[in-house]
Amino acid sequence: MEHTKENSELLDVVHHEHDHLCRLFDDIGETFEKITSGELEEPRRGEALETAQEDLQMALEEMLHHFNQEEEVFFVEIEAQFPEYAKDIARLVDGHELICDRTRWLNRQLKLPDVAQGERPEEILKVIKQMCKLVHNHAVNENRLFDNALARMPADQRERMREEISKL
């Protein structure tokens, strides 16, 4: 792969965002591991649940922003120049929708009184573990697409894309 400054900067932005979202879901998963294991007693369990709710809301907001950048800039540019990536991009967009839908579902569940009372933690943990895996796999697939496509793009186009995503 060609490693120019513009290519590296743009890839660094993408990889950083993906790493950040993966870590965020890993942290939420660790919190729920503690909650379900009984490691946390009240009021720490309640505080951990509240932190998980805040983290999920923050994750959703950050994902919506990040996914918007990808769908409005990266995917449009990549598909226009490399139509052979159209199916991969369609799958990634579907992944965005699934990740956001599941995150919204988790947010709703964490606000329910029975969950706040400590009921159903295994069910929630199972979905959070699935989400962690989904987010990690999605990041790997996107990184692969970006690494391959961006290396084939002219430097001026990569720089224009970097400028466009910074405006969103």
| Cα 76 to Cα 86: distance, rounded to the nearest angstrom | 10
Q: Mind listing the pLDDT tens digit of every residue in the chain (168 residues)?
A: 444 444 467 778 788 889 999 998 898 888 888 877 777 777 787 788 888 888 888 889 999 999 999 999 999 999 999 999 999 999 999 999 999 999 999 888 887 776 666 667 778 888 889 999 999 999 999 999 999 998 899 888 888 888 888 887
| Cα 142 to Cα 139: distance, rounded to the nearest angstrom | 5
Q: pTM for this one?
A: 0.84
Q: Residue-wise over 74-109: b if at least 16 C-beta within 10 A, else e?
A: bbebbbeebeebeebbeebeebbeebeebbeebeeb
